[in-house]
Structure 1
Amino acid sequence: MKTYISLIAGLMALTACQSAPKPELTYDYQSLLIAEPGFAGDITPVETEQQIYALPEQVQSELQRILHATSGITERSKTLLRYIFTFAHDELIYDNSATKTASETLAIGKANCLSLSILAYSMANEVGLKTVFQDVAIPEYWTSEQNTTWLNGHVNLRIVQNTLPENHSGVILFGRDIVVDFDPTILKQRFSTTQLNKQRVTAMFYNNKAAEQLNSSEDAQAYQYYLAAIDIDPTFAVTWANLGVLYRKYGLDQYAEQAYQHSLKLDPTSLNTMSNLAYLYHRSDRQHEAEQLMQHVNQARKNNPYYYLMLGNEALRRNDTAEAISQYEHAVRLDRNNHEAYFGLAKAYFQLNDTVQAERYLQRAKRTAPSDQDKEQYQRKLTSLLQVASVH
């Protein structure tokens, strides 16, 4: 990477991956928190853990009927899946930007992987099924919104089918576990997974809600969500890294550095945290330390097409079209089926008023899109582009 420009707005993490065992805290982390930080915005109570996982009474009643009408884990699991997907057929939509409680997800009809997994967990728990939250080890992947670039992760739910008979002799009856995941492209790629406990998932929920508040410039409320995440799971490294970004925004560089360092103690492998710490060093004229960190980060990311996709998006946001095209082309060289990179190229050429190239790359984006929903979106964009081209 030639510059630190992708880090200026702050790289933060959503439902991020944590595969290492829970580390022990070696010192009082309370010293990293500020009693009166003076962040902008109003403060309201955050959702409690009970509120996050609670189901509407009507849904609880329907699930109780499933519980009493089924016998055996397999039958109950399949019946539950059919029940969950009745909501999906009624437009329960996967929306990567929407973090909602279980009840809100049902009321609004859309949510991200974390919220949908929470909903499935609560439903399965209501009918007495054993479940495991799973952190899916997807490659580093970024999205941008307003002034912030987010590092995304993915979570799903596994319904356990292994059972012990009532009068067992130490023999476990194995069934094939069922994975509930509302993003079909994830299951097809067979990424490795790591088990998550409920406390970690709740901390992820609070981090995502903080992200939404930051995008609305409600920094004081975001801080409340970080405090809630720390309270329920102080060893979640992502919270401390995200908190460092908030501190840095307000010029609290010493606190930011301490938060980043603490995050790296909890997860020494986090490239995202290293990148943010490197930017902090860079802007405080500690160039040698910054370069050491970034050399490691760049080496680890050099074969990740989504890294160059992110750089292209950042370049396009600052109207550096030539740099954006270069980064998108690099992403395509690493992954010929990267529909988002083709879409980036289409946007870049459209900015250059080259509708021929824009149409060409939109066609490629549509052809390589993994889902019918994506293909339909690209077709709509193609139709709009052709209408614009015909006017000129």
Structure 2
Amino acid sequence: MFIKQEIYRFSIVVISLLSLSACSSMSQKNLSVDVKMPAASSLLQLQASKYTVPSIESLTQLTPIQERELLAFIADEEIAALPNRKKVSQFIGQKMVNFNYEGSNFNASDAWLNKSGNCMSLAMLTYGVAKFLNVKAVFQVVHSAPLATVITKDLMVSSDHVRTFLYEVDSSDSKSNLYLYGGEFSVIDYFPDRNDRNGGVVSDSQFLAMFYRNLAADALLDDKLELAFALMQKGLSLAPDYVPLINMMAVVHRRIEAYDIAEAYYQYGLQFKPNSLSLLSNYSFVLNSQGRIDEAQSISQQLLDLENESPYGWYSMGIEALALKDYRAAEIFFRKFIKNSPYFHQAYYELAKALNAQGKPYAAKQSLKEALTLTSLGENQQKYLAKLNWLNSVARKGLAEQ
């Protein structure tokens, strides 16, 4: 564990239809009276009403037993003299010992009780502990290299991160606990990496909306469409301009073939983030499914021409294009990613797939050699060498690059 002013990192699961919906920089436009959220499907609203959505309080509340344990921890002689923000980071550090990293999205008390959960669960636990000790927790998005990208059915699941700033709450100074005004703080950030790109600071409401998004993603993966919808509604009630949730709401309506409503959500989201990779990609998919080919191609070209604030979206766009067998687009997306993040070896391997599928074995071999140069992991080296040896055998049979 690397510690610098109590530094740790949390991961956030992000989900979208055949596209990465990376945590935005949160520099979206503020809502105005002229921007109205589309009306959701009345059928979905009726079906979703049978589900009970977890309350905000239930996400952050500690149990009485946990509160007593926390009070006992901070009563220790070495801890008691610390500022409250450091008490929080010391306690979270202690809870990290033997913590089992699983994919479950646990609330604060369940993450504590089970000693497991995904990284967002740890963020929620930090939030709950900070609230109990009257410490202000402020979350900042961190765009990180994609550690995992999984495609299942029509969904792509990937990851993003946040880090936490902890401030003392001073009731005599309304500005003392705010990130924007500086002052003393502790930072919680896990596994810092030189390729990380800092994004924007998010409000409490948007942070909670992220968690409801994660719960909705779980429901979608379990084919519980109505529950996912109910969770998305709750998240959007907290942060109506949160693009990943808007995108997911459009995905759900596309699934029930409510294409007009799905399109309305895409257009609504694009008012806040006109260059959103996920919104544009999924919007293009909907237009294609309706036979509106010219409109879809126009958006696809817009995607190819875009430059994004975080390069990691391009990686998942490349993965999507590979899945759709659009190898030319995959090559473009991977090259855009590599231009900005040249040290991520997996991207060279994926680029080699796209190149080879286009009949470019020599270029594919060069990409695999670059992947081998960048990785020191035995398993990855074996995978890349196997692919490289296969391409060499193809070349020896007389296949030339087209």
TM-score by length of 2: 0.71
How far, CA to CA, are the matches of 1:330 and 1:338 in structure 2?
Answer: 13
Does 1:181 find its partner at 2:189?
Answer: yes
**Matched-pair contact (CA < 8 Å) for 2:89–2:186:** no
Question: Which amino acid is the alignment partner of residue 203 of structure 2?
Answer: L
**Alignment-derived partner of residue 278 in structure 1:** 284
How far, CA to CA, are the matches of 1:210 and 1:279 in structure 2?
Answer: 21
Which of 114, 117, 121 is 2:127 aligned to?
121
- Which digits, 9 at most, give the CA deviation of each residue in 1:172-229, with x for residues without a partner? 997432111224227x7462432322x2222111111111221222212211211222
- Which digits, 9 at most, give the CA deviation of each residue in 1:268-298, with x for residues without a partner? 4433212222332233333443344333332
**Matched-pair contact (CA < 8 Å) for 1:15–1:114:** no
**Alignment-derived partner of residue 26 in structure 1:** 34
Moved more, 273-282 or 209-218: 273-282
Give me the identity figure in percent.
Answer: 20
Aligned counterparts, 1:5-20, within 5 A:
9-11=17-19, 13=21, 15-20=23-28
Does 1:57 find its partner at 2:60?
Answer: no
In 2 relative to 1, CA 193–38 (structure 1 residues): closer, same or farther, beyond 3 Å?
A: closer
Relative to its length, the structure with more helix (as a share) is 1
* Aligned-partner SS, 1:134: strand
**Alignment-derived partner of residue 196 in structure 1:** 203
* Aligned-partner SS, 1:130: strand
In 2 relative to 1, CA 279–315 (structure 1 residues): closer, same or farther, beyond 3 Å?
A: closer
Aligned counterparts, 1:316-355, within 5 A:
317=323, 331-332=337-338, 334-342=340-348, 344=350
**Alignment-derived partner of residue 372 in structure 1:** none
Shift of 1:122: 0.9
**Alignment-derived partner of residue 245 in structure 1:** 251
How far, CA to CA, are the matches of 2:303 and 2:329 in structure 1?
Answer: 20
Shift of 1:116: 1.9
Does 1:366 find its partner at 2:375?
Answer: yes
Question: Which amino acid is the alignment partner of residue 58 of structure 1?
Answer: I
Which of 18, 36, 42 is 1:35 aligned to?
42
In 2 relative to 1, CA 262–139 (structure 1 residues): closer, same or farther, beyond 3 Å?
A: farther
Does 1:379 find its partner at 2:378?
Answer: yes
**Matched-pair contact (CA < 8 Å) for 2:287–2:293:** yes
Which of 102, 110, 114 is 1:104 aligned to?
110
Question: Which amino acid is the alignment partner of residue 366 of structure 1?
Answer: T
**Matched-pair contact (CA < 8 Å) for 1:274–1:293:** yes
**Alignment-derived partner of residue 304 in structure 2:** 298
Shift of 1:338: 0.6
* Aligned-partner SS, 2:149: strand
In 2 relative to 1, CA 141–194 (structure 1 residues): closer, same or farther, beyond 3 Å?
A: farther
**Matched-pair contact (CA < 8 Å) for 1:313–1:324:** yes
**Matched-pair contact (CA < 8 Å) for 1:346–1:361:** no
Aligned counterparts, 1:302-317, within 5 A:
306-314=312-320, 317=323
**Alignment-derived partner of residue 133 in structure 1:** 139
**Alignment-derived partner of residue 159 in structure 1:** 166
In 2 relative to 1, CA 193–148 (structure 1 residues): closer, same or farther, beyond 3 Å?
A: same
The CA RMSD measured in Å over matched residues stands at 4.6
- Unmatched runs of 5 consecutive residues or more in structure 1: 1-6, 368-377, 388-392
* Aligned-partner SS, 2:120: helix
Does 1:89 find its partner at 2:97?
Answer: yes
How far, CA to CA, are the matches of 1:334 and 1:154 in structure 2?
Answer: 19
How far, CA to CA, are the matches of 1:14 and 1:192 in structure 2?
Answer: 11
In 2 relative to 1, CA 383–8 (structure 1 residues): closer, same or farther, beyond 3 Å?
A: closer
- Which digits, 9 at most, give the CA deviation of each residue in 1:308-332, with x for residues without a partner? 5334433554678999788657754
**Alignment-derived partner of residue 213 in structure 2:** 207
Shift of 1:100: 2.2
Shift of 1:124: 1.4
* Aligned-partner SS, 2:134: coil
Question: Which amino acid is the alignment partner of residue 285 of structure 1?
Answer: G
How far, CA to CA, are the matches of 2:366 and 2:274 in structure 1?
Answer: 43
Structure number with higher relative contact order (C-alpha < 8 Å, ≥ 6 residues apart): 2
* Aligned-partner SS, 1:231: helix
In 2 relative to 1, CA 175–65 (structure 1 residues): closer, same or farther, beyond 3 Å?
A: farther
